[in-house]
Chain A
């Protein structure tokens, strides 16, 4: 067996080494601590109150005391089954949409990092479809719910262990305009 190592310094694009780029790099630790310490079975919210549309006072979608502020359904590995502990959350959004006929949502599915990127995109979408199905069975019309996926591209937690993976296997409910 032979091993040859060539140490090369590559001409990278200027952006690769500008100090501006360095500042834009969010340290991994910072991003991790910004995520609520949720577990697969937990009920913490991953709502990010960054959109002006949903910051209006008294908006039940963002009021932390409202069930509607909880937006994430978590899944087991390799599974798209909506677990019983998340039925209440999904039902609350179903009731809200039934009341507010002008609301539309997008359900975004996500996966943990394990596996092939494109297949994970499809798996995330299947998780989103599973949540959608609960809502359409309860009466929300199909046309009001778009399902998409970020696959493994938008992890909520950046670790490479089950604690992080459990937070990343999820479907997020987003109202149009958010």
Chain B
């Protein structure tokens, strides 16, 4: 199954928040065995995603949302070439980290990667753009993020739909 950008949208178009029970059934990243990525690649995705979308006072981050799990499963069901291009991209991130920062991953590396996102030139730049979009899609699809970061109160049955309750639109009617 080809999962290009369009498909990601199609998937997200069908997405909804989960009930807490359903969410509890989703895998724990620590116990999950990656299927498309190696453990090292998976951990790098997890770390990169968390640096992109960190846990902070506004709510949980990419690690808690299981973004790496989402990406691994999507890659598992993508054409082999796509999974390979992600592996190449992750290897390039790793190399850059070692060469420039002498460490496997740092905040500075994220800043470096994000620097050219509006005008990507190298393969690594393009990989980062794709990584970021996919991670945001996965983040947004998480029921935990919808509820605790975005403040979403939907995906439930209500007797009446309240509509706009903003003070600037007092008694707006329908």
Partners in one complex: no
Binding site for A on B (CB under 8 A): none
Binding site for B on A (CB under 8 A): none
